[in-house]
Structure 1
Amino acid sequence: MIEDWRRRRTAKRIKSGDGRALKRLRWWQLPFRALFYLPLPNRDGRQTVYAVDIPRRTDPEGGKARAHLYLDGRHHAESKLPAAFPVEGGTIHVAISAFGLKRCHYVTTAGAEHRLIPDPKSAEGRRARVEREHPTLSRSISLLSVLMLLIGVGLNLLQLAEPISQIPPIAENIGTFESPVHLPVWLNFALAVGAILGSSERALRLRHSVLDQVGK
C-alpha cells in the first residue's frame, strides 16, 4: 500500500516535455550539471536512447531540483526529484543528496537494476574513466574518501555528544558524557571539509549510505 502511494505521488511530479533538443555538456558545466544515458532496444529492433539531464540547482518555481528526460535527443518529460520515469521495459529512478547524485538507475519490470551510463565529459564520466583505466588509483581514491568521511564524521559526533549529554533531561536519565577528544576549531572545520569532499567523491560513483547522510 505504501509503495503504491509512493508510485502515485512520484507519477504526479512528472510533466510532459517541450520537445527541445538536448544541449551538449560543456566543460564549465561540470560542477553544475550531470548527464546520463540509457540505450534500449525497441520492439522493431531499433535502438532508443534515453538521456537524463540533472542540473545541480534548485527550481526557482518549486524550490526543488528537477531531472529532465530526453528521448532520442528531444525533451520528453521532467520531474522534481526524486523522480521515477516510466520507459520501455521499466523505470528510470533518479535521486540526489546534499553532495550530488545518489541514484540514477534503470529498474526493469523484472526487478533488475542497471546504472545509467554517465556522459564521458561529465564529472561522473571522468571519475568512471579513472576507475576503468586506472583501477589501482581509483581504489586508493575510494579508500581515502571513506577514511575522510569516517574520521570527519566520527570525531565531530564524538565531540558533539558531550554538550548533548549535558541537556538536563538527558543528563538525569542517562548521565553525562565527557568526550576524550577536544580539537581546535580550525581542525574541526578541516575535518568537516574533508568529510564533505569524501561524500562528494562517493556521489560521483553514485555511492550513498547513512554515513553520507550524517556527513552533511
Structure 2
Amino acid sequence: MFTEYRRRRQVAKVKPGDGSPVPEYRCWQLFSRSLFVLELPDGELGQHVYEVDVRHGADSTSRRSPVSFYRDGAQVGRATLPAAFPVPGGVIEVAVGRYGLRRMHFLADDGTVRALRPHPRSTEGLRARFGRRFPRTSAVVGAVAVAVVLAGLALSGMIALEAITRVPVVAAHVGVVTAPIHLDGWAEVAVTLATALAATERALTLRSRWLVGGSPPV
C-alpha cells in the first residue's frame, strides 16, 4: 500500500514537457548525465520510443530539470527525483542515490520489471558494453565491487557503533564496543574512496540499490 501511494505521488508531481527535442549526448556529459531508452508497443498504432534524461546534480532551481521524459523524441514530462512517468501498460520509475542511479525500470501493470537500455555513449552504456564483450571479467569486477562495498559498510558500521557506545549514558548500560580495526588517516581516506568507486560501479549497472538501502536488484 505504501509503495503504491509513493508511486502515485511521484506520478502526480510530473509537469508537462515543452515539446523540445532530446538534446544530443555529448562526451563531456559522461559524469553529469544519464540517458535511457525504452520501446513499448501501443496497440495497433505500432510502438513509441521513450527516453529518460537524468541530469546529475540538477535541482528545482537549475535551468534543466533533474529528469526529463521524452516520447518519440519530444519532451512530454519533467520532474524532480525520484519520479514515475506513466506509459502504456505501466510506469517508468527513476531514482538516484549518492553514487548514481538507484532505479531506471519499467514496472508493468502485471508486476513484471524491466530495466531501460542506456545510451551507448553514456557511462552506463559503456559499462554495459564492457559486460557484453568481457562477461567473465565483468562478473569478477562486479563481485569485487560488492565485496568492497560490504567491507566498507561493515567497517563504517563498527566505527560508528564504537563511537555511540563511548557516550557515557550508553556505555553505562551496554558497555563500550571496540571496533576490531582502526585505520590511520590515509588508510581511512583510501577505504572511503574505494567504497565510493565500488558503489559507483554497481550504480552503473543499476545494481546498487540493495547495497545502499532498498529492495534487491531486479
Alignment TM-score, normalising by the size of structure 2: 0.90
Residue identity opposite 2:102 in structure 1: K
Compute the displacement of 1:161 (Å).
2.3
CA–CA separation in structure 2 for the residues paired with 1:84 and 1:54: 13
Alignment map for 1:1-216 (pairs within 5 Å): 2-61=2-61, 66-209=66-209, 211-213=211-213
CA–CA separation in structure 2 for the residues paired with 1:105 and 1:120: 17
The more displaced of 163-172 and 127-136 is: 163-172
Compute the displacement of 1:209 (Å).
4.0
For 1:62-114, what per-residue CA distance to the aligned partner results, in whole angstroms no more than 9, with x for missing partners?
8xx72111000010101111111001111000011011001000111111111
Off by >6 Å, runs of 4+ in structure 1: none
For 1:115-139, what per-residue CA distance to the aligned partner results, in whole angstroms no more than 9, with x for missing partners?
0011111100110111111101101
CA–CA separation in structure 1 for the residues paired with 2:26 and 2:207: 24
The more displaced of 4-13 and 109-118 is: 4-13
Q: Secondary structure at the match of 1:178?
A: coil
CA–CA separation in structure 2 for the residues paired with 1:210 and 1:57: 22
CA–CA separation in structure 1 for the residues paired with 2:42 and 2:5: 30
Is the CA contact (8 Å cut-off) linking 1:107 and 1:114 kept in structure 2? Answer: yes
CA–CA separation in structure 2 for the residues paired with 1:129 and 1:170: 51
The more displaced of 178-187 and 149-158 is: 149-158
CA–CA separation in structure 1 for the residues paired with 2:13 and 2:161: 39
Alignment TM-score, normalising by the size of structure 1: 0.91
Is the CA contact (8 Å cut-off) linking 1:153 and 1:192 kept in structure 2? Answer: no
Compute the displacement of 1:208 (Å).
2.3
